[in-house]
């Protein structure tokens, strides 16, 4: 996610992404509930239909038991830390510079387009 347009701020972008995540989880829960209720009661005797919240519980339980739906967990961060510690100071500074150039524009108070206009406003009227 790169903030190149400058049309929306970091807060609105984060809210949009958060809303999309909530809607996506809700839709996935609904799909699980529908599949369960359409398939399992007919296939297996004694299985009853489930509610929306029970379907969400099934998703969470499957995430805990099977580790699906992506995510690295603690092992992922342990590998990243070991990789970071193996870098030289120069490589660390280069990596920090790449992260800064990629993400720093996202949460700065000024938009990208505001800077050139501010520079033009600083010039005297006869030079413009």
Model confidence at 17: pLDDT above 60: yes
The mean pLDDT of the chain is 76
The mean per-residue pLDDT over the stretch 50-69 comes to 85
Please check whether residues 51 and 76 belong to one and the same domain.
no
Model confidence at 97: pLDDT above 80: yes
Residue 121: inside a domain: no
Its pTM stands at 0.50
Q: For residue 55, give its domain range.
A: 9-71
Cβ neighbours around 33 below 10 Å, total:
20
Half-sphere exposure for 61 (CA within 13 Å, toward CB):
7
Query: Per the structure, how many domains does the chain have?
Result: 2
Confidence of residue 111 (pLDDT cuts 50, 70, 90): very low
Q: What is residue 104's DSSP assignment?
A: G
Q: Rounded to whole angstroms, how far apart are CA atoms 56 and 16?
A: 22
Residue 114: inside a domain: no
pLDDT number for residue 77 = 76
Please check whether residues 62 and 87 belong to one and the same domain.
no
């Amino acid at each position: 996610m790169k903030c190149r347009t400058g049309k929306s701020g970091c807060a609105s972008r984060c809210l949009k992404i958060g809303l999309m995540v909530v809607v996506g989880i809700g839709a996935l829960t609904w799909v699980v509930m529908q599949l369960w209720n359409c398939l399992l009661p007919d296939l297996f005797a004694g299985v009853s239909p489930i509610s929306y919240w029970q379907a969400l519980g099934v998703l969470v339980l499957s995430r805990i038991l099977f580790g699906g739906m992506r995510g690295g967990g603690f092992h992922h961060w342990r590998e990243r830390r070991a990789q970071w510690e193996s870098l030289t100071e120069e490589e660390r500074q280069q990596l920090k510079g790449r992260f800064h150039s990629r993400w720093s524009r996202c949460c700065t108070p000024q938009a990208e387009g505001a800077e050139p206009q501010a520079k033009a406003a600083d010039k005297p009227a006869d030079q413009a």
